[in-house]
Chain A
Amino acid sequence: MITRTLGLGLLVVAALATSACATVRPQERAIQADPTMVYDGEPHETATVQHAVDNREGSIGGSGVSGGGCGCN
């Protein structure tokens, strides 16, 4: 059931993605470039926090797939 829901979600995403168009002109992108609006703007601090949190939960996702060992005692 969850797999079907995820599949449907991905289909919707693909439809939206293919219909996406330039909505913001380059000269309007100043705020999007502000460090508070950037995704993964502080990757080192985020990775350190995520490493500690992920090792104490039974789930993963949304934070990249770089690998690099366990460290999970």
Chain B
Amino acid sequence: MQLKHALAAVGVAVTTLLAPAARAQVVDFNTTHGIFYEAPSRTHMFVYTPGASLQVSPTDFLDIRAGWEADVVSGASVAVKAGPAYQATHPAADVVSTASVHDLRNAANGGFTLRKDIVTLTAGYAYSTEHDYRSNSFNVSARTDTYDKNSQFEIDYAHNFDSVCDRVQPTATSNQPTQLIALEDSTGCFSSDPTRTTKSIAIDSYQGGWTQTWTPVLSTQLLYTGEIQNGFLSNPYRAVIIAEGVKAQEHHPENRARQSVAARLHYYVRPVKGALRFGVRAYDDTWGITSAAVEAEFEKHLGEAFRVTLRGRGYKQSGAQFWSDDYTGGNAPLGPKGQYWSGDRELSPFWSWSVGLRGIYTFVPKSGRLLGMMTSLKLSLSGDVISYHYDDFTLGGVPIDNARAWLATFSVTALF
């Protein structure tokens, strides 16, 4: 009887929530799923990223949204990093931890958007948990559409209050980075376990953007992004061989300032009813990494409901100043680098390319609603292959020669 009453109450609540929304066609539901897989020499990684979001617009000037996404991660990573010079005299010094990476990130977010004339204000909050990481963040943005909506200016800001799990170090070694021991696993993290501690990370992110329509078929966008990180920025699990017989937890600087400028151009090619899109991005940071990325896409209508996109991207970065593939010696760029050390291949010099294809089909009923509810239903499917080419990074003393990754996404968007 109680269950019957409860179900009736839920039914009334859902009807009450959806009825005005359905009349005004202002509910937007999306679910997106991504799958990433890579298997270079001696290691592999699989990540499934599901997500769902709901946006409701009860009035013309207000949007309210809530969402969830996750990362289901499994694979292997490098637990102890050594380079070829050290490997030559100490075979198998590199340790790939085949069971170390099984993680689940859950992230919930919510926010709202207010519109008044030419101004749009947005604010949001996100909270995420992993076995070894917690994140609280808020973001705000303001946008204005001026000159008959030919010019849009936008500024964004976000702040993260994050914390990462680490092991409690023996007292005698707690102030000696060269003697710090890496975290063995996430057991006991964010609990009262006396062998675990947490370290904080603060991230401030800024972005400013200008989007301009120049002609009926040409528009451009310019973006500046800045980010300041402070806190424990190393991988707590990773150890690096830094001298003969000396293995220490990865040790990165505690501060990092990052900035980039990106420019995009969209041009509609009338004869083929398709759009060409180009993008370039330049980046540098205080760790000495500079990078450039170029992107090109062509999207074309095939009939009224179907669109297909062909896309490609090229990327190249230098390594961080303190990064070395082998801190124990060898020819440049190997050898000691100073007070910091890293086994992170994302801080090594490399270049990559990717190509991908995306198809989008949109159902819009000529009259009435799909299934009596939806004003439109959009299905999107994409696939990309990414090839990474590491200039100096090695595993087991040998270069990675088959670092290819596959990325697929599937997305459904329904408007009610």
Contacts and interface: CB of A to CB of B under 8 A. Distances in A.
A71 B73 contact: yes
A61 B281 CA distance: 8
B49 A59 contact: no
Interface of A: 2-3, 6, 9-10, 13, 17, 20-26, 28-32, 34-37, 39, 42, 44-45, 47-49, 51-53, 55-62, 64-71, 73
B281 A58 contact: no
B32 to A, nearest CB: 4
Contact of B156 (A10, A47, A64): A64
A45 B275 contact: no
A62 B294 CA distance: 12
Contact of A32 (B103, B219, B223, B300): B219
B347 A58 contact: yes
Contact of B225 (A20, A26, A57, A65): A65
Contact of A36 (B138, B283, B301, B409): B301
Contacts of B370: none
Given A29-B216, A65-B206, A70-B164, 5 more contacts: A49-B382, A57-B291, A69-B126, A69-B162, A70-B130
B213 A58 contact: no
Contact of B32 (A24, A35, A48): A48
B291 to A, nearest CB: 4
A47 B291 CA distance: 20
8 contacts: A17-B210, A42-B380, A53-B386, A58-B291, A58-B320, A61-B259, A61-B260, A67-B138
Majority secondary structure, A binding face: loop
B159 interface: yes
Given A20-B151, A52-B407, A2 B224 contact: no
B350 to A, nearest CB: 9
B157 A65 contact: yes
A6 B290 CA distance: 13
A62 B69 CA distance: 21
B126 A67 contact: yes
Nearest to B152: A39
Given A24-B148, A25-B148, A31-B217, A49 B34 contact: yes
A64 B216 CA distance: 26
Contacts of B120: none
Contacts of B216: 24, 28-32
A49 B261 contact: no
A56 B38 CA distance: 11
Given A64-B207, A73-B103, A48 B409 contact: yes
Contacts of B285: 58-59
B62 interface: no
Chain A CB within 10 Å — which of B129, B284, B388 has the most? B284
B268 A34 contact: yes
A60 B260 contact: yes
Contacts of B264: 39, 62
Given A48-B32, A57-B315, A68-B137, A29 B149 contact: yes
B71 interface: yes
Contacts of A23: 147, 150, 213-215
B250 to A, nearest CB: 14
Nearest to B323: A58
Of B69, B126, B258, most buried by chain A (CB within 10 Å of CB) is B69
Contact of A49 (B137, B148, B300, B384): B384
Q: Across chains A and B, which 4 residue pairs bring their CB atoms closest together, nearest first?
A: A61-B260, A67-B137, A69-B128, A62-B262
Contacts of A53: 354, 386, 407
A55 B135 CA distance: 16
Contacts of B296: none
Contacts of B128: 68-71
